[in-house]
Structure 1
Amino acid sequence: MRAVVVRRFGGPEVLELVELPVPEPGPGQVRVRVAAAAVNPVDAVTRAGVLAEAGLMAPRGTVGVGWDVAGTVEAVGPGVSGFAAGDGVIGLRDRLDVPLGTYADALVLDATALAPAPAGVPAVAAATLPLNGLTALQALDLLDLPPGATLLVTGAAGAVGGFAVQLAALRGLRVAAVADERDAEPLRGLGARWWVPRGAADLAAEVRTLVPGGVDGALDTALLGVTALGAVRNRGSFVAVSAGAAPVGLRGIRVANVWIAADGAALAGLSALAARGALTLRVADTLPLERAADAHRRLAAGGLRGRLVLVP
């Protein structure tokens, strides 16, 4: 079978399409035939060696690429219940210490990392849900805001930000979304109550004009750090989505990073929301597996609305 791997760190050109043996599922594992694999920023920093330099992954000769997958169960290992050959599934590969990612014809995941695919949703769209949807969900859980509370979402037009706006609105939160003007109306359609212009000279002042005293919490997907922290009230909460991006918790603000973890049960809940149209799945474009490097170049160029998806 084919897979995209990295054997030396660098730019998109280091992505190699290689032939590998078809993996066999062990106890508690499932082999998935890949129908679609989303391309995410974490794939680019993995490829570039940023995660290895930060000590987040052990040195190894071959590094797998890709976290998101949508596909079909091909085989199950001993002790697996709830999945059978032919089932449509989505899943998250959250381990960095394995040589095979989702940029492949097939891969093996723990059954606990999988969920039924959203009914009626094409695999290409479904593949955009696991990493970004679970990141938004787990970040909101860390913020732990009650219904009626106010939430600032930076980078609200991005993949994580868009899911966060919708999930927050479903929880009864009042959302201030930071984004370009062209994204203002679409974000209101997702459930944002207020729009805040990206690149505002004084973000905290802009937000505090809308929410006197500051918002109860902030989900910082744009990695603005202290700039966004200033918009949060004293003893509020703040969550960043990238390692080392959380600022010091000034004014008694509770600050955390969200460390994404595969969670099949939570993913099943997101899948059900997507199936009934309560979550918006956005695909920027599809490319064949052999054009993974082109996908990474387009990701680096920016300006995408939705995810690029590789289709083996």
Structure 2
Amino acid sequence: MAFCCNTRHEEEEFQVEYDPPDTIEKVKQGIEYAGHEYLFIEGDETAYDRLRELRPDMVLNRAEGIRGDSRESHIPAFCEMLGIPYVGAGVLTTAICLDKPTTKMILEFNGVQTAPFQVFTEADDPLKAEVGLPMILKPSQEGSSIGINWDNVVSDEASLRRKLGEMLETYRQPILGERYIDGREFTTGFIGNYGPGEEPLFLKVLEIDFTKFPEGLGNVLGQAAKTTFDSSDHYVCPAQIPETLRRRLEGASRRVFRALDIKDWVRLDWRLDADGGLYFLEANPLPGIDAVEEEDEYSFYPMMALASGFTYDEMIKRVIDAALKRYGVR
């Protein structure tokens, strides 16, 4: 079982999605707990040759990729070219989920509510009346809240144009503008797949507690909130919500899972407005899996798995087992 990821060597913006050495060691322990021999393959330019030479029986993929707007699809594509089974979503799904506007269009077609939006390629692109202000601006093709903070919420034309110009210059990609949904934010997740007589396990729901955020972070789970000021105290898991809302989140999450052809594991983000409207935010078919207890550093996916009764090792085993069963190995 080869674990393929990108190793985080620095705390620079573009590396926040990568896996630190502590996480890589925990995954190694989880793979060995599951009864497999462990290999490591760095998800960089050497990955294809390493996969071809080592020919692992399966790849546990969490590689974010190193460049390009389809970078999260590189390892799945290499595995498919070489005929190597792998854990997680396929080439098309990982490419779609990295592009926020495309994901939203597909989900809207499948009956999942998302906030009204438009895509800006120039700072002076006209604002669509049906989207309106306030609006939150996001790089279209980034993960881990890269490029997103409280000042991305703009309430007037001048702020919109100023922030758009800054983001277009910095990220060199289209900018997604969504109507800002003020309200509660939740994260959901799954382990497993749909198949004859089975469905993926819906994990305990996590809620972001914005009241615990330091002043200045606002009501946005941005990059600063996820890194500099991150603490498990800011999150409630299991979320203290009525069963009716939990069922709504589960039902909507299952529609997303099917519509995007997710496999084995996923993390999904949602907003609930004051009128009870539930809006999809983002899908991550390569969920972060940091879990360093002594540093209080937990990604949402292991937080939900732990709250659902699994140890970290059991979480890794369940995800691997889901992929093995999908390939007909078990």
Normalising by the smaller structure, the TM-score range is under 0.3
Q: Which has the higher helix share?
A: 2
Q: Which has the higher strand share?
A: 1
Calculate the TM-score normalised by the size of structure 1.
0.27
